[in-house]
Amino acid sequence: MSAFWYYVFTLVFFLFDYFILAMGLNIQYGETGILNFAYIGFVAIGAYVTGAASLPNSAGTGQQYIMGWGLPFPFNLLLGGLVASAVAVLVALIALRRLRTDYLAMVLVSLSLVLYDVINNYVPLFNGADGLYNVPQPMAGIFHLTTNSFIPFFAVVTGLVALLMWFIMSRIMNSPLGRTFRAIRDDDGVAGALGKNPFGYKLTSMIIGAFYAGVGGGLIIQFGGSFNPTAWLPGETFVVFAVIIVGGVGNNVGMLVGALLVETLLIHLPAFLPEIPGHPGLIEYIDTMVVGVLLMVMLWFRPQGVVPERVRKSAGMLADRARGRGRQLTTASEGQGKSGE
Amino acid sequence: MTLFWLSVGFGFVTASVLAIAAVGLSLQFGITNYINFAYGDFMALGAYFTYVFNAEFFHWNVWIATVCGSLLMGVLAVIINHLLFSRFARRFSKTFYVMIVTFGLSLIILNVVYSIWGPDVRAYAMPIERVVKIGPFLLTRDQLLVMAISVVVMVGVAVMLKTTRLGKSMRAMSDNTTLAMTSGIDTRRITTITWFLSGTLSGLAGAVLGISEGNITPAAGELFLFVIFAAVIVGGVGSIYGAMAGAVIIGMATEISAAFINPAYKLDVAFVILILTLLFRPNGLFSRPKG
C-alpha cells in the first residue's frame, strides 16, 4: 500500500476517533453545561487501561504496568471506558456537588495537571514518562493482518464503533434524559424547581461523557500501539473543545463536521508537511495557534457553530402555535410528548 | 532536622513567588468575575521579556530587567483585555465563553513562546551567589531579595486597597459592579488599571520564579498555574488576603512535604490540600460572604 493511502486512513481514523471524543464532551458541556477542562485526562485513563489490559503480563516485557491480562478487542475497550466512567464518578462526587462554574473549571484544570504528573512520575502504574508501547494490534491474528493492512482495517472498525456510539448518543439526546440535561444547562435552578435533581443528572452526564472519552482513548492506543504523556498534555482538552465549538455545540452532526475541520484538517494534515529547515516543531506551534485563533473567530462570528443545535419543539408547543397562542415554556417536562420533529 | 529547616526556608521562597502570582490573579478575578486561564502564560511571557532585557539583547542587571519585563507584561495585559477579553465579556453574559477564550489564548501564547524562544531551558545572566546562613535557613541573596520583593508587593497592595481612592473603587467593584457604576465609579478605567496590575504582577511572578528556580521554560508558568489555583481556592476565590494566606499555606506545604516524600509529587500535595479544602470548606478558608 502506498504511503498516500496510509496517510488517508490515518486521517480517517482520527476523524472517527475525535467524533467519538467530541460526542462525549458535547454531552457534558454542550448538553449539560459542565465545563470539563479535565476531559483529556479521561481520554488518557481510557487509553492506558485499554493498553494495559490488552498487553500480556508485564514480566519480561521491559515495561512496568498493572493488569496485563491480554484481554481481546471489544472487552479491553469497554474496560477502558468503564474505568474512565468510574473515575468520573469520583471526580463528580468531590467537585460537582457544590462548586460554582468557575471553581469547578479551576479544579478540573488542576485535576488534569495532577493526573498528568502522577502518571508521569509513578512508573509501576503505566510505565511513567515512557508510556505504554508494543500494545498488540486487535484482531490482527484472526484476520491475518499485516502492519500495512491493519491501518485501513482499524480505521473501518473505528468508523463502525463511532456509528454505534452515534446511534446510542442520539437516542440519549432525544430521550427525556437528554431533555433534562438541556434544561439543566439552560438553568439548573428551573430544572431543580421542576423536581429534577441537577446533581444526579450532571453525574449521569459525566459518566456517559467519560465513557465516550475512555473508548476514544482506547481506540487511539490500539491504533498506534503506544501511548505516552506527550499525547495528552492538558492543552489537548482545548482541541476537543475547539472541535465541538467549531462544529456546533449540542448537535451530533456538528461533532463530525468539527472533527473533520479541526482535528483532521488542522491538527493532523499539517503533521505531514515537511519541517521548515532550522526550525524544528515550528509548524506544530503555528498549527496550534491557528486552532486557538479559529476558535475565537468562531465564537465571535458564529457562536452556534457550523451546524447549529436544532431548536427542539414539543408537540404541545406546535399545537399551541397552530392555535396562535405563541411559544410556551416547555423545557424539562417529560410528560410533554415526543419531540415534534 | 536540618533538612526540615532547609525546606522551611525554600517554603518561604515558594510562598513569596506564589503570593505575588495569587494576588495578581485574585485582583483580576474579583473585578471581572472570570478566571484567566492564560495567567500562567502571562507569567511565562513576563519571564521571557525579562530574559530579553537581561540576557538576550540589552544585558541589564537582572532586577532592572525584571521591573521592565513586568511593566511590559502589564501593558500587554491591558492591550489583550481591550482587544479580546472585554469584548467577549460584554457580548456574552455567560462567563464560560470568556473562560474558553482565555483557555485558547493560553495555548496561543504558549506556542508563540515556543516559536520564538524554543523549548530549551534558559537561565538569566546573574552572578553566582554564595549561600547565606540565617538562623537555621540556608538561602541565596537572590532568594532573600525575592522574599523582600514579595513582602513589599503584599504590603503595597494592601495599603492601596485600604487607603487609596483607586483601591476603594476596586473593592466596591468587586463587591457589586452595578452598584459601583451607579455610584459614579468609572468601571472601565478601574478594569483597565486592574488588568495592568494583574499583568504586571504575573510578569513579576514569572521573572522571580525564574530567578529563584535558576531557569525558565515556556511551560513553567502553566504548571505553576495550578499551584496558584490551589492557593487562591484554599484562601477563598476573590479575596486578596485569602490569596496571600493560601499562598503561604500551599507554598510551605509543597516544600516541606518534599523533605519527606519524593519531591516529584510535591505539586500533588497542593492538590490534596485543595481537595480537602473543597470537601470541608468549599468557599475557602477566608471567604467573604457575597452580598
With CB atoms and an 8 Å threshold, state whether B279 touches A282: no
With CB atoms and an 8 Å threshold, state whether B262 touches A121: yes
From residue B225, alpha-carbon distances to A16, B24, B36, B243 in Å are 33, 12, 10, 13
Residues 44-83, chain B, touching A (beta carbon < 8 A) = none
**Cα(B233)–Cα(A302) distance, rounded to whole angstroms?**
34
Of A44, A29, A134, A117, residue with least CA distance to A80: A44
Distance of residue B258 Cα from the nearest chain A Cα, in angstroms: 14
**Cα(A221)–Cα(A47) distance, rounded to whole angstroms?**
6
Of A30, A36, A59, A82, residue with least CA distance to A207: A82
What ipTM does the predicted assembly reach?
0.84
A234 contacts in B (CB within 8 Å)?
A: 222
> pLDDT value at position B191?
93
Are B234 and B284 spatial neighbours (Cβ–Cβ below 8 Å)? yes
The region of weakest confidence among A244-253, A315-324, B96-105, B226-235 is: A315-324
From residue B64, alpha-carbon distances to A7, A25, B155, B201 in Å are 52, 46, 21, 15
> pLDDT value at position B287?
66
Distance of residue B115 Cα from the nearest chain A Cα, in angstroms: 6
B114 contacts in A (CB within 8 Å)?
A: 281, 285
Distance of residue A21 Cα from the nearest chain B Cα, in angstroms: 18
Mutate: best of B37, B92, B100, B261, partner A, most A CBs <10 A: B100
Indicate if the pLDDT at residue B242 is higher than 70.
yes
Are B207 and B73 spatial neighbours (Cβ–Cβ below 8 Å)? no
Pick the residue from chain B with its C-alpha nearest to A290: B108
A292 touches B: beta carbon within 8 Å: yes
At residue B138, φ and ψ (nearest 5 deg) are -115, 115
Mutate: best of A35, A110, A283, partner B, most B CBs <10 A: A110
The region of weakest confidence among A141-145, B89-93, B169-173 is: A141-145
Are A29 and A7 spatial neighbours (Cβ–Cβ below 8 Å)? no
User: Which of A121, A282, A299 comes nearest B100 by C-beta?
Assistant: A299
* Strand-pair category, B137-140 with B131-134: antiparallel
User: Which of A37, A114, A235 comes nearest B107 by C-beta?
Assistant: A235
Confidence of residue B290 (pLDDT cuts 50, 70, 90): very low
A167 touches B: beta carbon within 8 Å: no
Sequence spans of domains, chain B: 2-162+191-280
Torsion of CA B252, B258, B264, B267, to 10 degrees: -20
More confident residue, B270 or A323: B270
User: Which of B35, B101, B233 comes nearest A299 by C-beta?
Assistant: B101
More confident residue, B204 or A33: B204
Are A183 and A201 spatial neighbours (Cβ–Cβ below 8 Å)? no
Crossing angle, helix B220-235 and helix B266-280, to 10 degrees? Answer: 30
DSSP bridge pairs for B137 = B134
pLDDT (tens digit per residue) in A25-72: 999 998 888 888 899 999 999 999 998 888 887 777 777 778 878 788
A118 contacts in B (CB within 8 Å)?
A: 265, 268
Identify the three-state secondary structure at position A132: strand
Mutate: best of B83, B174, B271, B273, partner A, most A CBs <10 A: B271
pLDDT (tens digit per residue) in A139-156: 777 777 777 788 888 999
> pLDDT value at position A337?
37
Residues 214-243, chain A, touching B (beta carbon < 8 A) = 234-235, 238, 241-242
Mutate: best of B111, B232, B254, B273, partner A, most A CBs <10 A: B111
Of A118, A133, A65, A61, residue with least CA distance to A87: A118
A303 touches B: beta carbon within 8 Å: yes
From residue B50, alpha-carbon distances to B19, B72, B124 in Å are 20, 9, 8
**What does pLDDT average to in each consecutive run of 10 residues of chain A (341 residues)?**
81 92 92 89 93 81 78 88 94 81 83 87 82 81 77 91 94 91 87 88 94 94 85 84 87 87 81 73 85 89 84 69 55 38 32
Distance of residue B147 Cα from the nearest chain A Cα, in angstroms: 26
Helix H segments across chain A? 3-25, 39-54, 73-91, 101-121, 123-126, 147-174, 176-186, 188-193, 198-224, 236-247, 252-258, 282-301, 315-322
Is this model's pTM higher than 0.90 or not? Answer: no
pLDDT (tens digit per residue) in B16-63: 999 999 999 999 988 888 889 999 999 999 999 999 999 888 888 889
